[in-house]
Amino acid sequence: MAATLTKNCFRALCVTAALGLATAAQAAVIVYTATLSGPNESPPNASPGTGSATVTIDTTANTMRVQANFSGLTSGTTASHIHAATTTPLTGTAGVATTLPTFTNFPLGVTSGTYDNTFDLLTAGSYNPAFVTANGGTPATAEAALLAALAQGRAYLNIHTTNFGSGEIRGFLTAVPEPGSWMMMLIGFGAIGMVIRRRKGSPARLESCRL
């Protein structure tokens, strides 16, 4: 009897954890962040410039909001883009995925600044034409390719300057789990650990686990 109850507890808690993972996977809004720096470039450079970026994807509205701030660059900005997809997550280089010659209304000719703009991911103008051609030939297939690269850690935001034409500061974009999903997963996995420990105990302790 005790063994059966323990198995039922374990299964229920596994379902709780799985639901947390499913909630995160199916979220309509996915947030990615990056820390921008010279050492993050490939090859690395010694720029004193720093920055951060937040990319918010709304998979229902098919939009991408790009927010960035930067300071301390050695020369004026010339362009900024998201590059994708690198061969290996979190390393390497890739071609420009987003609009050319730079993000719409990105501040140019400055060494510090902020940026905030939302792109329609079903509009061809949101992408580098070469990226669209290489990924199915339509904005919809380009969107799928970009979202896959982001989810896999194979996309980075790059800020180019006069002194560093290939990029002065950059950072790979990584997902930020939703608070609710984090909480559900932590509760689920923590409870599973508790049940596993109890299974090693006496039958009397196992009796305490109830659904």
Q: What is the pLDDT of residue 177?
A: 82
| The residue type at 113 | G
Q: What is the pLDDT of residue 7?
A: 52
Q: Where are the domains of the chain?
A: 1-27+178-211, 28-177
Q: What is the pLDDT of residue 200?
A: 52
Specify the CATH architecture of the domain 28-177.
Sandwich (2.60)
Question: Tens place of pLDDT for every residue, the chain, 211 residues?
Answer: 555 544 554 454 454 444 454 444 455 999 999 999 999 999 999 999 999 999 999 999 999 999 999 999 999 999 999 999 999 999 999 999 999 999 999 999 999 999 999 999 999 999 999 999 999 999 999 999 999 999 999 999 999 999 999 999 999 999 998 655 444 544 555 555 555 555 555 555 444 445 5
Q: What is the pLDDT of residue 42?
A: 98
pTM of the model: 0.75
Task: Return the H-helix or E-strand segment holding 157.
Answer: strand 155-161
* Token pair for 195: 């049940």
